[in-house]
Each structure stands twice: as C-alpha cells, then as structure tokens.
Amino acid sequence: MMEGTSAFYTGSEEAIKRQVSAVGLQTEESQIDDVYEIQHCVDWIKQAGFKRVALQFPDDLMQDAVSVTTRLEAMVPSTCKVFILGDTSYGSCCVDEVAAQHYNADAMIHYGRSCLSQPVKMSVLFVYGRLPLDVDNCVHQFSILYPDTSSHVVIVYDTVYAYACDEIKNRLRCKYENCVMSMLKTRDTNVDLPGDLTVITKCGRTLGLPAGKTLSDYTMFYIGSESLTLSNLIYNFQSNQFFSYNPSTREGRRENVNVNKILMKRYFMIEKAKDARIVGILVGTLGVANYTAILNRLKVLIEKAGKKSYVFIVGKINVAKLANFMEIDVFVVIACAENTLLDSSEFYKPVITPYEMELACNTEREWTGEYPTDFNQLLHDGSHHQAIPDTVHHEEGDVSLVTGKIRTLGYQDNNVETGTAVVLRSDAMTVATQADSAGEYLSMRSWQGLEQKLGETPVTMAVEGQKGIAMGYSDEPS
C-alpha cells in the first residue's frame, strides 16, 4: 500500500490519458468481441431497427475502430449503415450528437470512458470497454485499507472498470457486510433496488443505502486512475473520506487531498466573477441534456446582476481561443460535470462553473459547503435549485476582496449622482463604461474575424495560382 497526496486534476482530458499505461495499445482480434460487446451492440441495433448508426471512439481507442466496425457490418442487417465519427466537437466523454446528426444518424454507440451525461435527442448505447484490472489484487488492497470488516464503505469506479465490479462485490460481500456498490445510471437505470433502501443519485451513479444511514456514515473507495472522474467525485462527496485503488499501478492509498485549500482557490474566482462587468458564456457541450436551459438561466441571472453577457461557441476550449476576447472579464463554461472544472491558471481570464456564477450573482443563494458540478442540479427540478429573484437592488453592495473597492449588483437607476447634483442619464452625456464597451472594443479591432460582406466585394475573374510547394514554387528561380 502507498499513502500520499493525490494530484487533484482539473486540466485537460488528454493530459490525464497519457498516465494510463494501457492507453494506445491495440486490442487483440480475439478479444474485440468481448471488450466492445459486439453481440450486445448487434442485438440492440436489430431490436430497434436502426438504419444509420454512428460509432464514437475516443482518441485512445481509435486504433480499434476499424476492427469493431468490420465486425458490426458483418452482423447487422444489410439495410443498416454503420460508420465512424472522426473527431468529437467537445470532450470525448460526452455523446457527440451534433456530429452524428450531420450524417443523419438515428442512433449512436459511444465507446470508452463516459462522464455519464444523459443524451438529448437520439438513442445511445454506452459501451465502456475494459481496461485491465486484477480483481485479486484489488480485493487485497481493499482489505489493507479497511482492516475493520465492519467499515461502512461505498465503492465507486471509473466506467472502464464496470465489467469487474460484480465480481469484486461478490468477493467482498462475505467479509464486509456494510459495503455498498454503486451503479452507473446510464447502464443500470432499470435495476430495481429493494424498497427499504434510501436511493441517492450523484455524478451519474446510484447508491442504495440501508434505512437510517446517510452518506456521512460512509467512506468512499474509488477504483480507477487519477482522472477528471476522481476530481469530480471528490468535489461532490467532499464530506467523505476517500480511498482509491489504481489498476495501472496496482496500489491502493488514502487520498489526502486538501479540499478546503482547493475550494478557497475556487472561491477566489467567485470573487473575480462578482467584480466582473462583462461575462462570456462558453458553450462547451451540445450533447448534455438541458444545456439550453442552463444557458438561458445564466443569461437572465447575469443581466439581473447588472452585467453584460456574450455567448461563445468555440468547440474544444483552449488558451489561445479565449485569448482573442480580452474584453471579457470572466468566462463561465457550460459542459459536462467532468469537463466543467478547468484549471484557470492556464488562461488569461478566470473560467468558472455555472454554480460559481450563481454564487456570484444570485443574492438568494448561500454557499452551504456543497459543490455541485452538474449544472442540471441548478435547474428547476434539481437538488440545488434556487430561484432567481425578480429584482436585485444595487444598494445591496459589499467590498471586493480582490480590489478592495465597493461593488454593487443589479440594474443602476436612470439617475446618476455626481457630487451633490443629480443628473439625468442620457445617451449624449453618458461616458461609456466597461460594461458598455465590448461592442466598441470589437469595432476598433483591426481584424474582426471572417466576414462575408455580401454585395460589397467586387466580382473578379478567377486566375491560376502558384504551383509547387512553399519552399520553391514552379515560377520561382531555382
């Protein structure tokens, strides 16, 4: 057993993938049927009668895409077309329904890791795959971490190890009576739990706790490598002690993450959001259910807080893209629960979550210590919903902990007080403030992006261009 401080990941998914030793290795042909559940996929397609099925693979499984597609094409009806999606618009853990719709797909099969976000518009089958896991070693490490057999433990796991969890549960059940195995919501929705259990759903996982027990009575045991999944679980189960087993290193340890320190860093960004006058709303997903609902809620919330908002759809988010919008004070990203926790230290401006924006702008919301990362929890039927007040009075001001200046929320009155005189605000007399200058900032740029300018560009005859390569075109002297 190894004890130590876990790296707390809020960075890119690609950086985390590089740490998994099994990534990038092509699956043996003899194992393709089992790993990718070919027969299950074929039965699903035949039962529903799908005609066009898109297959989505993450980058680390793309080397198996041709083999999987070939197997499926040989087994599905001839009237069914199976094809591979090349690249995903956003995170590979999310279902890329937009790309599938571009090719008129009526269903999708999502392979590999999943953030367990619910799809919106089409039927989706999740096939998580199977990364290597030594069940004997996992059970052994569990017994070392929990020498007391009466311990109350909830087992959670990365989706790529779901195939082994029933066996692990059976091996532990005879010795640890108070051990609870979580179930993945997308795969186990139809599983019936006994009526005497308290059902809790978090992070796409369903837990059935005995009557009279709460989550605070349990510690968490996570099966998987350090990843965005682990970070997301720690955020949402921060009151619980975490232990983990890494199948790649075959080691178990206690997660000594300083959650309070991490939350203080996030709270600093909330203070920056309170100071912000111009907010950029980043649409980081088009496949998670209710993303339009949270977008509309954020626009209303930001407007009532007296701020201006602009919506950006930039595909996969990176530093270079956001650096083009220096007039934006803070960005709030709408993405799945795992990809919403970006490390803002890499960006020029803070990038926060919808919940953090709510804490900054909604005067009716107080921080209870919980930290939901799934934006669906903020909506009307969510467990962390808080109504937006009809009006936010700007008199309810406070002092910024960042700048030390007094700040206010809400609309400003039409009368502006200057010294002892009250002057009526008018367009002619108003000096443009930062919140009103984003449009002017764009108009003053030397380059404003690609513009069609239909009817403004003169029509000219096409001419033959240069031939050859950049280091030496055919019309250049040798």
Give Cα separations from 257 to 202, 241, 246, 441 (angstroms).
20, 10, 16, 42
Query: What type of residue sits at position 190?
Result: N
Q: Which has more confidence, 186 or 123?
A: 123
State whether 385 and 363 are in the same domain.
yes
State whether 312 and 251 are in the same domain.
no
- Residue 451 placed within a domain: no
- pLDDT tens digits, 350-359: 999 999 999 9
Tell me if residue 471 falls in helix, strand or coil: coil
DSSP letter string over 219-261? EEEEES-SSHHHHHHHHHTTTS-EEEEETTTTEEEEB---HHH
- Sequence-distant (≥ 6) Cβ neighbours of residue 124 within 8 angstroms: 95, 97, 107, 108, 109, 110
- pLDDT tens digits, 58-116: 888 888 999 999 999 999 999 999 999 877 777 788 888 888 988 899 999 999 988 88
State whether 170 and 65 are in the same domain.
no
Highest mean pLDDT of the ranges 120-124, 300-304, 462-466: 300-304
Domain boundary among 106, 127, 148: 127
pLDDT at 19 over 50: no
SS (H, E, C) 295-322: HHHHHHHHHHCCCEEEEECCCCCCHHHH
Q: What is the mean pLDDT of the chain?
A: 81
State whether 270 and 380 are in the same domain.
yes
pLDDT at 431 over 60: no
State whether 45 and 93 are in the same domain.
yes
Domain boundary among 375, 391, 418: 418
How far is residue 184's CA from residue 113's CA, in Å, rounded to a whole number? Answer: 12
- Residue 429 placed within a domain: no
- pLDDT tens digits, 308-322: 999 998 888 889 889
Q: What is the DSSP letter of 31?
A: G
State whether 102 and 164 are in the same domain.
no
- Residue 82 placed within a domain: yes
Handedness of CA 334, 337, 338, 343 (dihedral sign): positive
CATH number assigned to the domain comprising residue 266: 3.40.50.11860
pLDDT at 13 over 60: no
**Entry pTM:** 0.76
pLDDT at 6 over 60: no
State whether 274 and 412 are in the same domain.
yes
State whether 195 and 56 are in the same domain.
no
Q: Which of 112, 106, 128, 114 is nearest to 51 (CA)?
A: 106
- Residue 280 placed within a domain: yes
- Residue 425 placed within a domain: no
In terms of phi and psi (left: phi > 0; alpha: psi -120 to 50; beta: otherwise), the region of 162 is: alpha
- Residue 454 placed within a domain: no
CATH number assigned to the domain comprising residue 185: 3.40.50.11850
Least confident of 74-88, 143-157, 450-464: 450-464
- Residue 119 placed within a domain: yes
- pLDDT tens digits, 320-333: 889 888 889 999 99
Give me the number of domains the chain comprises.
3
DSSP letter string over 74-108? HHS-TT-EEEE--S-SS-TTS--HHHHHHTT-SEE
Q: Which has more confidence, 129 or 192?
A: 129
CATH number assigned to the domain comprising residue 60: 3.40.50.11840
How far is residue 58's CA from residue 38's CA, in Å, rounded to a whole number? Answer: 17
**pLDDT of the residue at 440:** 67
- Sequence-distant (≥ 6) Cβ neighbours of residue 122 within 8 angstroms: 97, 100, 101, 105, 106, 107, 108
- Residue 183 placed within a domain: yes
**pLDDT of the residue at 191:** 53
Q: What residue numbers bound the domain in which 187 lies?
A: 135-257
**pLDDT of the residue at 21:** 37
DSSP letter string over 355-420? HHHHHHH-TT----S-----GGGGSTTSTT--PPPS---TT--EE-TTT--EE--SPPPSEEEETT
State whether 268 and 399 are in the same domain.
yes
State whether 290 and 390 are in the same domain.
yes
- Sequence-distant (≥ 6) Cβ neighbours of residue 42 within 8 angstroms: 72, 75, 76
pLDDT (average), residues 22-33:
75
> Please, are residues 341 and 229 in contact by the beta-carbon 8 Å criterion?
no
Q: Which has more confidence, 48 or 193?
A: 48
Q: Which of 300, 308, 304, 301 is nearest to 279 (CA)?
A: 308
pLDDT at 339 over 80: yes
Q: Which of 61, 82, 86 is nearest to 72 (CA)?
A: 82
Domain boundary among 74, 94, 127: 127
Band (262; pLDDT cuts 50, 70, 90): confident
State whether 164 and 253 are in the same domain.
yes
- pLDDT tens digits, 219-240: 999 999 888 888 889 888 877 7
- pLDDT tens digits, 282-308: 998 877 888 899 999 999 999 988 899
State whether 202 and 315 are in the same domain.
no
**pLDDT of the residue at 399:** 67
Q: Which has more confidence, 33 or 13?
A: 33
- pLDDT tens digits, 372-403: 889 988 998 888 888 888 766 555 566 676 77
How far is residue 360's CA from residue 301's CA, in Å, rounded to a whole number? Answer: 10
